[in-house]
């Protein structure tokens, strides 16, 4: 293993142990840094101290154009890979491995701000109803899963990561404890519809699903083998429900769609953006503020209804 490769492994071990990043995030860091170190080797760089600022700048140009022999990246993907590279070089500098940070001045491309996609309350209701169609424990589980995701704004990884002990069904204070990025914990209220669906599932369906398990998974949402439901299976639950509901653009609806809808509907109902930030677990309010962006049609409607000289 070269010195550069060893330094990458040391950094990934640090991210796992000290920052508690998820397996999927660590895999993304590994892919990005593997592409970077391959580029460095092609330029004859063997030691971390061999890397200079032009190497980092040229790498960014290469990944955006695909001139390093791999797929060209969009602005958002290029920004992600630059974050990984900058983090690695900063780690090396702080650890005394290098004396300078060649990536410090390299800025990731700013991706265009896009409005999060949300669906209407009516379409959400159709989706939830479709998830619960059928007999047996699986429809009860699927309805409870999607009710919880929409009712709390949870990321799908947070929902499938829930343990039974993370659910507090105390009347008047029902809530779930979610663990977000970096294992950051937050407690989110559980609304009446979501609570009813989750309790119905826990009482009437989960014991059946858990019956075939010898490990006794603590997870709330189980598959038919009694193990914790995976993210991929949760995606499949939503996709099938969207198709059954006959929603327009069903193939584009993802678990994040329900999270976006949760935030959008809260803000439309008058919720303060800071409160929504806390519920979503966003580190910065600027991320949450994307949900406050409105369409030109909405702007015209509000202007026409509100301004004294609009009519």
Q: Say how far apart CA 79 and CA 15 lie, in whole Å.
A: 19
Q: Say how far apart CA 228 and CA 160 lie, in whole Å.
A: 7
Query: Catalytic site residue 155?
Result: yes
Q: Could you say which of 45, 86, 259, 265 is catalytic?
A: 259
Q: Could you say which of 143, 155, 260, 265 is catalytic?
A: 155
Q: Could you say which of 90, 117, 181, 239 is catalytic?
A: 181
Query: Catalytic site residue 259?
Result: yes
Three state DSSP letters for 11-60: HHHHHHHHCCCCHHHHHHHHHHHHHHHHHHHHCCCCCHHHCCHHHHHHHH
Alpha-carbon separation of residue 261 from 151, 218, 244, 253 (angstroms) = 10, 29, 19, 11
Query: Catalytic site residue 256?
Result: yes
Q: Say how far apart CA 150 and CA 193 lie, in whole Å.
A: 10
List strands edge to edge, sheet with 185-189: 167-168, 175-179, 185-189
Per-residue DSSP letter, 99: S
Query: Catalytic site residue 282?
Result: yes
Cβ within 8 Å of residue 297, ≥6 positions away = none
Catalytic residues: 155, 181, 256, 259, 282, 291
């Amino acid at each position: 293993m070269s010195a550069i490769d060893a330094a990458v492994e040391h950094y990934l071990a640090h991210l796992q142990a000290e920052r508690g990043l998820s397996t999927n995030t660590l895999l993304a860091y590994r892919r990005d840094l593997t592409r970077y170190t391959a580029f460095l080797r092609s330029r004859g760089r063997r030691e971390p101290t061999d890397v200079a600022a032009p190497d980092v700048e040229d790498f960014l140009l290469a990944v955006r154009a695909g001139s390093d022999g791999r797929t060209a990246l969009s602005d958002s993907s290029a920004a992600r890979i630059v974050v990984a590279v900058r983090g690695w070089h900063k780690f090396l500098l702080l650890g005394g491995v290098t004396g300078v940070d060649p990536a410090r001045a390299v800025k990731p491309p700013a991706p265009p701000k896009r409005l999060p996609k949300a669906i209407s309350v009516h379409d959400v209701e159709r989706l939830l109803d479709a998830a619960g169609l059928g007999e047996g424990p699986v429809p009860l589980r699927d309805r409870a899963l999607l009710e919880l995701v929409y009712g709390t704004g949870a990321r799908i990884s947070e929902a499938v990561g829930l343990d039974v002990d993370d659910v507090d069904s105390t009347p008047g204070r029902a809530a779930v404890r979610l663990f977000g990025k970096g294992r950051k914990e937050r407690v989110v209220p559980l609304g009446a519809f979501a609570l009813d669906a989750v309790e119905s599932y826990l009482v009437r369906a989960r014991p059946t699903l858990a019956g075939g398990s010898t490990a006794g998974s603590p997870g709330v949402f189980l598959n038919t083998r009694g193990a914790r439901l995976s993210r991929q299976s949760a995606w499949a639950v939503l996709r099938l429900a969207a198709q059954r509901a006959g929603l327009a653009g069903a193939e584009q609806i993802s678990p994040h769609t329900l999270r976006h809808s949760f935030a959008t509907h809260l803000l439309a109902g008058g919720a303060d953006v800071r409160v929504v930030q806390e519920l979503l677990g966003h580190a910065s309010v600027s991320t949450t503020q994307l949900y406050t962006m409105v369409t030109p049609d909405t702007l015209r409607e509000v202007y026409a209804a509100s301004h004294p000289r609009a009519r």
